[in-house]
Structure formats: structure tokens, C-alpha cells
């Protein structure tokens, strides 16, 4: 790793300590996690490494804060979350730059998508906090039965490195709105912006202990958090392999688990599709965020009759994507987030070739000498067959496989021929086909004539090996609450059993 480039101004003032019980504190064992800028692999910061001692303290702080936070009115919890959203917007310049430096996301994306969407998620859950209602059920005569939604307790949130800000808001928003307290472990590669959010939360008045942030390594801090008996629920976003470990770790106290895992999205283009829109949508589906998205449209399925015309336009567009320093406002694709991940993505080009793929575009790092030290991979397009590894395994980079199909029945089979089931899309002018295929695709989310739309009002999550549970939407409030059924004897006679 080089330490050549100067540390940018934004990072100099960044918080690098753990956030426990409302205070920034050093790690008990003094360990530090080095954090690098993926543009040139220069050292950005060293962040305190949480170990089990720190996790114990964070869980204790969250447990201590839970009763009062649960009793706080829903309207007050909502008001504080709305203030968090406002604080994020006021801090947008700083947060965008920091997220870009830490992750490699182009600044135009962090400014235009990551930060506004993070604020939007907090605002949505701020607004929903006091709209969660119970029910009254028709039961036996003489009884009133009502059901309330109770917070589950202390939530352990574990997030990956591909959208640190966004996933912090997707988990914190509903968890806090529902009256839970939180211990969040962000990914070791990208811990910086979440610590900034902690500061903003403290400033707007989120009480001490309600939110605790413990950056640490997955195999140690993450595993310990998932096993912890003081945690009532784990909300996990990450790979399917780690998701299985989290489920196993949760068994000790039967904590609730919510899993947002990998994906292998099929993006289907029928012969009646609006071609230019489909080309632009397919490029966004795979190249946005350098392809590091669980919902990426990484399998492009083209109907034979339009495949050549589509590809000519698609390859032209992909070729023209501006790859470069993510701090440059003109940049459309930045580096991948770490050298290890870049190498993994590049390894799939060899794997594709071995299985008979033709590389239609890209297939390596850029030639630009200014980008050689960074984690860059050019937009890559390969041909592939449905059973090939590149159509089955999540590459998680700017890497898309192209497969041709004959008709609707065949493409539904191909789309469903993976173990994943997160997102998928289709492009057609035929309304009936749109509904029919959307229904036949076995995923948690489908986009028709668009791709990768997300909104805090709409549930997000998958089926199969993509996990279970839903983030966002009203559904999220059920994920973070338990139903409690209360029976009141209004005027019922004592039942005949044991009557004396
Ligand atoms: P990862 O599974 O390696 O890590 C995710 C998080 O889990 C990190 O914070 C990591 O430190 C932690 N972790 C690692 N080992 C752990 C363990 N044994 N116990 C507890 N925590 C542990 O995933 P990643 O490489 O950081 O992220 C990429 C993956 O995340 C991809 O598979 C992607 O599809 C998936 N993802 C899914 C969604 C979704 O909503 N479905 C969204 C984004 C990313």
C-alpha cells in the first residue's frame, strides 16, 4: 500500500473511535483498522477495532437505554429521526466526499444518490414511527383482544462495504422508529461515514446508548455480535456464505434474524422493448456503483431477434463510460472498493474464458497510468450460457454476462435458474407480458421497463439464497417489532372448568 497521496481535508477531521453509550471512546484492546482510499490505495485513516470487550460494553449500553427509549412516545422518536434526516442533508457535502474517499463511489453518485437516499430513509421512518397501529380482533363474547407491536429489544446490525451510508439508514431507521436500541457493526473496509452519522445522531439528541457503533472485523467482532445473548435480533446484509454463519451463531439464544444476501439479477430484454431505454437501463443496472450491488442486473438476457441491435448500442454506451478518480464530478465509474475484491472480479474474466465465453468489452484494468495504483476494472461484457459460473456466482463488479433466448417460456426458465432470488427486470411494451413475467420471476423485487429502483416506501429483500425479511416500506416495521396479543375479560363469565 502506498501512502503517497495527501490525506484529503474531509478525512482529517473524521471520527475514528468507537461510539458507545453516547460517547466516542478508544477500543479496549487498542487495535486499529487501517482504511484505504481505493483510488490509489493510500492510507486514509486508522479506525479503532472493536473486540468482544467493546461489544459487551456496547450491548450493555444498548440494554440500559432500551426501557426508556421504548417508553419514549413514537411521535418523539419520529421527531428525532426527522432531525437526523435534516442533519444528514446539512452535512451532505462532507458525507458525500467522505463516502467517495472510503468506497470509491463517484462523487456524483454519493451526492446524487447515496446521501439523499440515506436522508430519505431516515425521513421515511421518522414519519412512520407514530403510524404503526395495532389491531382489535373479533374473539369470544365477553372478551376484548387487541394486538400491539412491541420493539424486539436490542438489534445487532451488520452491514457490508458496498453502500455503508445507505445500509446504516435502512437498518437504523426502522429499528429506532419501532423503539429498539441498536449496536451496529459496519464493514471493516468502509467504516468512516457511519461514525459521522453517530456524531450527527448525538448532536440532534438521540439519547446515549440508543445507538452504538462498533467497527470491527467480521470473523471476530461480527461473529461475537451474532452470537451475543444480549442481542434480540440480528439484521444482516452481506454475502450468503456469511449469512449462513450468522444464522448458526444466532442459535444460542434463538435471536431473530433478518438476512439481505447476494443476488444474480436477470435483466430481460424482449423484442418489443423500447430499445434505447433498455440499453441505458441495462448499463445502469450493472455499472452503477461499479457493479457492487446485490440487485445488479448481472445477467443480461436478450431475445435473439434484437440481440445484435441491442448489443451494438449497449457496447457503445459501456465503452463510453467515464472511468476515473471518483472525486472528479465527471467520473461515472470509480474504483472497486478494495484490491482483494478487484482481483476477485478480474479472476472471473479467466473463468469466463475457460468456460467458452467471448469477451465483448473490457476484461481488465484501465490503461490510464493515473489509475494504475487503484482498484479499477473496466466495464466488462462477456457472452455466457445459463449454467456457466459467471451466470451462477455473484461477481459483484462491472461485469455482465450476455445470453440470448428464443421466447418467453425459455427466458423465464433461464431467469429462475439460479439459487438467488433478489431482484430482476424486464423490458417490453406488452403490458400483459410485463405482468405475466413479473409474476413468473422468482425474486423479491421485479422492475418492468426500469431497473434498480429503490424507495424507502417499498419493501426490499429476496427469496431463496438471497435471504429473508424485508427492509424498508411498512413491512420493515413488522421486521423490527413483535406482535403482542392482550386479552381483557370485559364481562365474560368464569369458564366452567374448576368452577366450585
Ligand atoms: P460479507 O458477508 O463478507 O460481510 C458483510 C458484513 O458481515 C461485514 O460487516 C463483515 O465484517 C461481516 N462479517 C463477516 N464475517 C462475519 C461473521 N462470521 N459473523 C458476522 N459478521 C461477519 O459481505 P461483503 O463482501 O462485505 O458484501 C458483499 C455482499 O453483500 C454481496 O454478496 C452482496 O450481494 C451482499 N449484499 C446484499 C444486499 C441485500 O440487501 N440483499 C445488499 C448489499 C450487499
3-state SS of the chain is CCCCCCCCHHHHCCCCCEEECCEEECCCCCCEEEEEECCCCEEEEEEECCCHHHHHHHHHHHHHHHHHHHHCCHHHHHHHHHHHHHHHHHCHHHHHHHHHHHHCCCHHHHHHHHHHHHHHHHHHHHHHHHHCCCEEECCCCCEEEEEEEEECCEEEEECCCCCHHHHHHHHHHHHHHCCCEEEEECCCCCCHHHHHHHHHHHHHCCCCCCEEECCCCHHHHHHHHHHCCCCCEEEEECCHHHHHHHHHHHHHHCCEEEEECCCCCEEEECCCCCHHHHHHHHHHHHHHHHHCCCCCCCEEEEEHHHHHHHHHHHHHHHHCCCECCCCCCCCCECCCCCHHHHHHHHHHHHHHHHCCCCEEECCCCCCCHHHCCCCCCCCEEEECCCCCHHHHCCCCCCEEEEEEECCHHHHHHHHCCCCCCCEEEEECCCHHHHHHHHHHCCCCEEEECCCCCCCCCCCECCCHHHEECCECHHHHHHHCEEEEEEEEECCCCCCCCCCC
For ligand 1, the distance from its centroid to the CA atom of residue 225, given in whole angstroms, is 14
Q: What superfamily would CATH give domain 266-448?
A: Aldehyde Dehydrogenase; Chain A, domain 2 (3.40.309.10)
For ligand 1, the distance from its centroid to the CA atom of residue 191, given in whole angstroms, is 13
- Pairing verdict, β 445-448 and 423-427: parallel
Q: What is the pTM of this model?
A: 0.96
Ligand 1 pocket mutation pick from 114, 161, 188, 238 by most atoms within 8 angstroms of CB: 238
- Among the atoms of ligand 1, which is closest to the Cα of residue 161? 26
Task: Give the pLDDT score at 4.
Answer: 45
For ligand 1, the distance from its centroid to the CA atom of residue 158, given in whole angstroms, is 8
Task: Give the pLDDT score at 6.
Answer: 57
As a whole number, the mean pLDDT across the chain is 96
- Among the atoms of ligand 1, which is closest to the Cα of residue 217? 11
Query: Which residues' Cβ are closer than 6 Å to ligand 1?
Result: 158-162, 185, 187-188, 218-219, 222-223, 226, 237-239, 242, 245-246, 260-263, 294, 394, 396, 422, 462, 466-467
For ligand 1, the distance from its centroid to the CA atom of residue 19, given in whole angstroms, is 21
Atom 21 of ligand 1: nearest residue by CA position: 222
Atom 32 of ligand 1: nearest residue by CA position: 239
| pLDDT (average), residues 474-491 | 96
Task: Give the pLDDT score at 492.
Answer: 82
Task: Give the pLDDT score at 139.
Answer: 96
- Tens of pLDDT along 138-190? 999 999 999 999 999 999 999 999 999 999 999 999 999 999 999 999 999 99
Least confident of 2-16, 122-136, 263-277: 2-16
Alpha carbon 44 to its chain centroid, in Å, reads 23
Residue 33 pairs in a beta bridge with 47
Task: Give the pLDDT score at 427.
Answer: 98
Task: Give the pLDDT score at 5.
Answer: 52
Atom 40 of ligand 1: nearest residue by CA position: 260
| pLDDT (average), residues 427-434 | 98
Residues tagged active-site: 260, 294
For ligand 1, the distance from its centroid to the CA atom of residue 160, given in whole angstroms, is 4
Pick from 328, 330, 342: nearest CA to 38? 342
Ligand 1 pocket mutation pick from 160, 397, 454, 466 by most atoms within 8 angstroms of CB: 160
Task: Give the pLDDT score at 473.
Answer: 97
- Tens of pLDDT along 432-463? 999 999 999 999 999 999 999 999 999 999 99
Has residue 9 got a pLDDT over 80?
no
Considering only the top CATH level, what class is 9-261+466-485? Answer: alpha beta
Grid coordinates representing 135 are 389491531
Q: Where are the domains of the chain?
A: 9-261+466-485, 266-448
Has residue 204 got a pLDDT over 80?
yes
Task: Give the pLDDT score at 12.
Answer: 75
- Tens of pLDDT along 326-366? 999 999 999 999 999 999 999 999 999 999 999 999 999 99
Task: Give the pLDDT score at 8.
Answer: 72
Task: Give the pLDDT score at 2.
Answer: 40
Task: Give the pLDDT score at 348.
Answer: 98
- Tens of pLDDT along 282-292? 999 999 999 99
- Among the atoms of ligand 1, which is closest to the Cα of residue 163? 43
Atom 30 of ligand 1: nearest residue by CA position: 238
Amino acid at each position: 500500500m502506498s501512502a503517497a497521496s495527501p490525506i484529503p481535508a474531509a478525512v482529517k477531521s473524521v471520527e475514528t473511535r468507537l461510539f458507545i453509550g453516547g460517547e466516542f471512546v478508544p477500543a479496549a484492546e487498542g487495535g486499529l483498522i487501517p482504511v484505504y482510499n481505493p483510488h490509489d490505495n493510500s492510507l486514509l485513516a486508522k479506525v479503532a477495532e472493536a473486540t468482544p470487550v467493546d461489544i459487551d460494553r456496547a450491548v450493555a449500553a444498548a440494554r440500559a437505554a432500551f426501557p426508556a427509549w421504548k417508553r419514549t412516545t413514537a411521535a418523539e422518536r419520529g421527531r428525532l429521526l426527522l432531525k437526523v434526516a435534516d442533519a444528514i442533508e446539512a452535512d451532505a457535502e462532507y458525507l458525500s466526499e467522505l463516502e467517495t474517499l472510503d468506497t470509491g463511489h463517484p462523487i456524483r453518485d454519493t451526492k446524487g444518490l447515496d446521501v439523499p437516499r440515506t436522508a430519505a430513509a431516515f425521513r421515511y421512518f421518522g414519519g412512520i414511527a407514530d403510524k404503526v397501529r395495532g389491531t382489535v380482533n373479533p374473539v369470544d363474547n365477553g372478551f376484548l383482544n387487541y394486538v400491539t407491536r412491541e420493539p424486539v429489544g436490542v438489534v445487532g446490525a451488520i452491514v457490508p462495504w458496498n453502500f455503508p451510508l445507505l445500509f446504516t439508514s435502512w437498518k437504523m431507521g426502522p429499528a429506532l422508529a419501532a423503539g429498539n436500541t441498536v449496536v451496529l457493526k459496519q464493514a471493516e473496509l468502509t467504516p468512516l461515514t457511519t461514525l459521522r452519522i453517530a456524531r450527527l445522531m448525538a448532536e440532534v439528541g438521540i439519547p446515549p446508548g440508543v445507538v452504538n457503533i462498533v467497527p470491527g472485523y467480521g470473523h471476530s467482532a461480527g461473529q461475537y455480535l451474532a452470537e451475543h445473548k444480549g442481542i434480540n435480533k440480528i439484521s444482516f446484509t452481506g454475502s450468503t456464505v456469511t449469512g449462513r454463519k450468522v444464522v448458526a451463531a444466532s442459535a444460542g439464544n434463538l435471536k431473530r434474524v433478518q438476512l439481505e444476501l447476494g443476488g444474480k439479477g436477470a435483466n430481460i430484454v424482449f423484442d418489443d422493448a423500447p430499445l434505447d431505454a433498455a440499453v441505458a437501463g441495462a448499463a445502469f443496472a450493472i455499472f452503477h456503483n461499479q457493479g457492487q450491488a446485490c440487485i445488479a442486473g448481472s445477467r443480461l438476457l436478450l431475445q435473439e431477434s434484437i440481440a445484435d441491435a441491442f448489443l451494438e448500442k449497449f457496447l457503445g454506451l459501456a465503452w463510453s463510460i467515464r472511468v476515473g478518480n471518483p472525486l472528479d464530478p465527471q467520473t461515472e465509474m470509480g474504483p472497486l472498493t478494495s484490491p482483494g475484491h478487484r482481483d476477485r472480479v478480474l479472476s472471473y474474466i479467466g473463468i469466463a474464458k475457460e468456460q467458452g465465453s467471448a469477451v465483448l468489452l473490457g476484461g481488465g484494468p484501465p490503461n490510464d497510468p493515473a489509475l494504475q495504483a487503484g482498484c479499477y476494472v473496466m466495464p466488462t461484457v462477456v457472452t455466457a450460457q445459463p449454467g456457466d459460473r459467471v451466470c451462477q456466482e455473484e461477481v459483484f463488479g462491472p461485469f455482465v454476462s450476455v445470453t440470448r433466448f428464443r421466447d418467453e417460456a425459455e427466458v423465464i426458465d433461464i431467469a429462475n435458474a439460479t439459487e438467488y432470488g433478489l431482484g430482476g427486470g424486464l423490458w417490453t411494451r406488452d403490458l400483459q407480458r410485463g405482468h405475466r413475467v413479473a409474476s413468473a420471476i422468482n425474486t423479491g423485487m421485479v422492475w418492468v421497463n426500469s431497473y434498480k429502483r429503490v424507495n424507502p416506501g417499498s419493501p426490499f429483500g429476496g427469496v431463496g439464497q438471497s435471504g429473508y425479511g424485508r427492509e424498508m416500506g411498512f413491512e420493515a416495521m413488522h421486521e423490527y417489532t413483535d406482535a403482542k396479543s392482550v386479552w381483557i375479560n370485559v364481562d365474560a363469565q368464569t369458564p366452567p372448568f374448576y368452577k366450585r
